[in-house]
Structure 1
Amino acid sequence: MSVPLTKVDSAIAGLSIADEKPDAVEKEVKGKKTHKRTSSTAEGIWNIKDLEEQKIEITLPIETQKTGWKLNTSPSTIEDKDILKMFLVNPPVKKIDLHFPLGLAVTARNLKGVTIKDALDAIHKQFKKKADDELEKPYLAGFEWDKEECWTRLIVHQKKEGAPQPSKKSKKKAKEES
């Protein structure tokens, strides 16, 4: 009376299950093994280290300097929502470190290219629990890329005053004066 062997019994009997390849982790494409997640990366998006190796310089859009955004408020409070969709640097990268003058560093990541919103979200995550009086310079002045200091990171600049917000009263006075 013999009982049919199960997989566990087969392994004990000297048969190896290790020869079986799990399909979920790897797949074979034209003879090369690749990970399944290759579809999540977009074309034309660089790794910042590759840009450094090839000495490709990055540029920042001027819009990053004009946000007038307060670090402890949500990035969705920015009036011009269109700039949030723009890439933070050109050519677009998957991730980039953002360094503050006092030593704090945050990383903005997006496999489809880091946008200004991704950078502001990463910064906001660090400052959202800080009260207004805890921040010496609560407004974003912009970003700076200094290839001499470090090719793979941006320096975050802050300022004491935000962009002047036009109030309803000043608009009425301007109409009355003209």
Structure 2
Amino acid sequence: MTEPLTKVDSAVEGLSSSPPKKEEGGLRRKSSAVPGVYNINDLEKEGTELEIAIETRYTGWKINKSSGTVEDPAILKLHLTKPPVKRIDLHFPLGLEVTARNLKGVTIKDALDAIHKAYKKRADDELDNPYLAGFEWDKEESWTRLIVHLQKQPTSSMPQGASGGGKKKKKGKSEE
């Protein structure tokens, strides 16, 4: 078929023999990839250590209540880990495991919401340790999950020393 194209065949004259190539990973949405937010498995391969937000220790939050009941709602917007990750498993000592997800980086609110979803139907008297005490990352046990610690009494508000304050802060507070 080396004959020149006729009027009937002219519709295919401008087309190349192969379809145009798509970009690598053609069906993936690029908008969901936020710079600076990592996949936890990639961090494990690189050996990058996680750092957990210290504010999680002072939430005073009951696990069967909404995350909106936290004493200081401003901490809910903070990333749970540094560097921020897209998803992380939260493991309870009795074996339950939930996953917190956020493509823009898992926040403290995302973690609390994931925990709340698992415990929202439990009554107060069913929970031995109903208050969040914080999270622990043990890279020897599992790089990709945090251990959730619970306690009987709420830990309320940040202590004076934890916020980086000094002696003058206490003195100023007593003068008010």
Normalised to the residue count of structure 1, the TM-score between the two structures is 0.74
Partner of 1:60: 52
Regions of 4+ moved over 4 Å = none
Partner of 2:107: 115
Q: Deviations over 1:60-95 (max 9, x none)?
A: 111011101000000001121111000000000000
Runs of 5+ consecutive residues of structure 1 not aligned to the other structure = 1-20, 22-26, 166-178
Partner of 1:91: 83
Number of equivalences: 138
Matched, 1:156 2:143: no
| Aligned counterpart in structure 1 of residue 22 of structure 2, from 17, 24, 28 | 28
For residues 33 and 89 of structure 1, the distance between their equivalents in structure 2, rounded to whole angstroms, comes to 28
Q: Deviations over 1:136-164 (max 9, x none)?
A: 10000000000111111000000011135
Partner of 2:130: 138
% identical aligned pairs: 63
Normalised to the residue count of structure 2, the TM-score between the two structures is 0.75
Distance 1:152 1:135, change over 3 A: same
Q: In the TM superposition, what are the counterparts of 1:45-56 in structure 2 within 5 Å?
A: 45-56=37-48
Contact 2:136 2:148 in 1 (8 A): yes
Partner of 1:175: none
Matched, 1:127 2:119: yes
